[in-house]
Structure 1
């Protein structure tokens, strides 16, 4: 069995749904289809999820909702009409939309989650109707029926381990197709809660693990994962295969094909993932595989960068002989609830790298003032101009001199890294540069290895 997932852009219109159905039916093993809400049909269009958020806000503010309900229903109606679905069959979708404000919700957050989730819920119902209309034996399965239990916040849910037990007992006829809505699950008390945005990827990975799928095919609007951001390097190479941990390392530094959390259920179940293009479904795409027995094709798999970092540099003579130095710094950060990303250090130096989104100018001043007063470093410098570049590849473990090659190529371009740190896994090298040098550094490293 294969689980396949389609994003919103792949299900935005009758034509795109027809293409997705062709992909589903091209292989008998493709039995479970995870669907997103209809996305944008053209650049100026609005995603159905965004329309549902507007519907929720109007409901909460006791405003007229007739127009927004009509606009949402019209999106499903157009898809249904493309396949000849009758008005009577579409009435259930209209009814469910109208009935949303009439349900009981513990609070406004649960209301918002329920409204958002219906983009996927209604689309899955509609696509199951379409498949049966086309003579393809199909069944809509709701997370309630499947026992996909979640905990956590209403709009930032986490899968409960009980879900995998429930999914293991789900009966699926070998001759039927299952249509399952992405993005949400059911709380122990029976309310809808959504994963963080982009969470249909998470649902797909959960089902792939819970149903013991041989493969999880994630269909997007790109032909696999590029080895570098195409906005930096034109026509970059597509990664043919990579490991879970390579994907995690690259996701951290800006690769955005997958939601960061989406891989975790598949990783835990050791399910291979194939990222493919909905519009070019016969292309091989990118395979994401377990680490065990993986043989890399090349030294470097990908290069990625992010520019939203800042760093605090401290120098103190004989730092290595001062017990508790790092602990006192961490206690200050904990006091102000500020996480740090990395802390490379030397004999007399330490650099603390922060994600800028967790900081304000006031917090920076408070932290620097307290560190200066409590620790009294010989030098304390705040660096706003900071970018991180990740060079990732399973092939680096068995190749000597990769760091030297990188540094040499950067030096030729006049780039002096502010920090270089190799991870304990030996599959990644992190480089800190000035923001304005980051793109050139990425291009230089890419050209050196590709």
Structure 2
């Protein structure tokens, strides 16, 4: 059994659907398929998920929604037409689009989640319909009917353990199982969506639940690259990497996977193969347990992310003050803020945050409370902050890695705010100005790969 997930660009139109169907039918063991919502067909196009968000917003503002419903219907109808599916067989689609605004939701957050999730829901139903129309036995899997249960957090749900038990009981024979990605059902029967990379999360959950031998994640790139091709020209294509390398790199900017997306597959020890829908014959990148991995290079990948802020605190004899960290954490808890990293010295401490959690009001309130509780000599926010991650299983027990990184950066006059080596010994984190981050990635890449 193989689980196959397709991204939005892979399902954007009829031509892409044909490629997807060829991939699904090329190997009989590809039995479980996870769909995303249709993505952009061309640069100026709008993703179906964004159209559904617009539909929800119009409905909440009591505006007429007939035009946006028609636009959404036409996106799916265009795909169906490519396979000569009669329009009469799409009655459920029009009915479903209308039903979205006729349903009662607990609040606006659940309404938005339900509207967004239907991009995947409609696409999965359409793919199952087309496969059966072509004489390929397929069954649409409704998350509500099989008990795909998630927590009651409408737009940031997590899977519940019972889901794996329910998936394990699925009876499928030789037919293809078509799952909509991105969402599950709460115990109360409401739709709740995963966060970023939601369809990837669904794929990993299904792969674990069905005890798949492989989770194939089809996207629009040939492989995962050692650096962002927008920063480094023709970067090295990674053939094999470990789960934890992928997690470290995803956290700091790798766009192929959101860092939480592969956790269910890791827990189920399911190998992941990232491949290109447009070139399925190419090997792509295999993501495997570190116990089965032999490093071929010292560094596997280098990436950066610019969505961070830092709070810098200076106080003499900081290291002697008992309970100081506890006081800071209590203040952060008070405002519902989690931190990413907290490197410190004897007189200095830096707390790094994801900017998405912070508003100007929260920043002012946190700074005010810390001043009152700790009376620091200096306290200031650093908004121009980027993190660079250098990751590789081959870095362990290697002498000179840090020297090569520092030399690559200092030779080009790039200043570092912070250096931190992870406890796993397979990652080094650097903090720098956002304006310097891309250049730093480029020079570090050259030091290790050129």
TM range (shorter): over 0.9
Q: Which residue number corresponds to residue 180 of structure 2?
A: 181
Query: Can you give the 5+ residue segments of structure 2 that lack an aligned partner in the other structure?
Result: none
Q: Secondary structure at the match of 2:101?
A: helix
CA distance in 2, matches of 1:82, 1:243: 40
**Are 1:274 and 2:273 matched, yes or no?**
yes
Q: Secondary structure at the match of 1:407?
A: helix
Residue-by-residue CA offset, 1:316-365 (whole Å, 9 max, x unaligned): 33333332232233333333433322111223332222333333444444
**Are 1:328 and 2:358 matched, yes or no?**
no
Q: Which residue number corresponds to residue 152 of structure 1?
A: 152
Instruction: After TM superposition, list the pairs within 5 Å mapping 1:419-438 onto structure 2.
Output: 419-438=418-437
Q: Secondary structure at the match of 1:260?
A: coil
> What TM-score do you get using the length of structure 1 for normalisation?
0.94
> What TM-score do you get using the length of structure 2 for normalisation?
0.94
CA distance in 2, matches of 1:416, 1:65: 52
Moved more, 49-58 or 79-88: 49-58
Change in CA separation of 1:62 and 1:320 when aligned onto 2, cut-off 3 Å: closer
Moved more, 2-11 or 337-346: 337-346
Residue-by-residue CA offset, 1:146-193 (whole Å, 9 max, x unaligned): 2211122223222111010000000011x2212111112122232222
CA contact (8 A) 2:251 2:258 kept: no
CA contact (8 A) 2:117 2:193 kept: yes
Q: Which residue number corresponds to residue 171 of structure 2?
A: 171
Instruction: After TM superposition, list the pairs within 5 Å mapping 1:271-350 onto structure 2.
Output: 271-350=270-349
What displacement does 1:4 show?
0.4
What displacement does 1:92 show?
2.4
Q: Which residue number corresponds to residue 88 of structure 2?
A: 88
Moved more, 406-415 or 201-210: 406-415
CA distance in 2, matches of 1:337, 1:53: 27
Moved more, 68-77 or 58-67: 58-67
Change in CA separation of 1:192 and 1:382 when aligned onto 2, cut-off 3 Å: closer
Moved more, 343-352 or 397-406: 343-352
Q: Which residue number corresponds to residue 440 of structure 2?
A: 441
Root mean square deviation of aligned Cα: 2.0
Q: Secondary structure at the match of 1:165?
A: helix
Residue-by-residue CA offset, 1:57-93 (whole Å, 9 max, x unaligned): 3333443332222221111211111111112222222
Q: Secondary structure at the match of 2:307?
A: strand
Q: Which residue number corresponds to residue 33 of structure 1?
A: 33
CA contact (8 A) 2:341 2:351 kept: yes
Q: Which residue number corresponds to residue 23 of structure 2?
A: 23
Moved more, 374-383 or 215-224: 374-383
CA distance in 2, matches of 1:56, 1:364: 31
Q: Secondary structure at the match of 2:215?
A: strand
CA distance in 2, matches of 1:380, 1:62: 47
Q: Secondary structure at the match of 2:157?
A: strand
Residue-by-residue CA offset, 1:15-41 (whole Å, 9 max, x unaligned): 110010011111111111111121211
CA distance in 2, matches of 1:386, 1:92: 49
Q: Secondary structure at the match of 1:398?
A: coil
Residue-by-residue CA offset, 1:378-415 (whole Å, 9 max, x unaligned): 44454333221111111111312211221122222223
What displacement does 1:418 show?
2.2
CA distance in 2, matches of 1:232, 1:411: 19
Q: Which residue number corresponds to residue 44 of structure 1?
A: 44
Q: Which residue number corresponds to residue 351 of structure 1?
A: 350
CA distance in 2, matches of 1:404, 1:154: 46
CA distance in 2, matches of 1:160, 1:84: 40
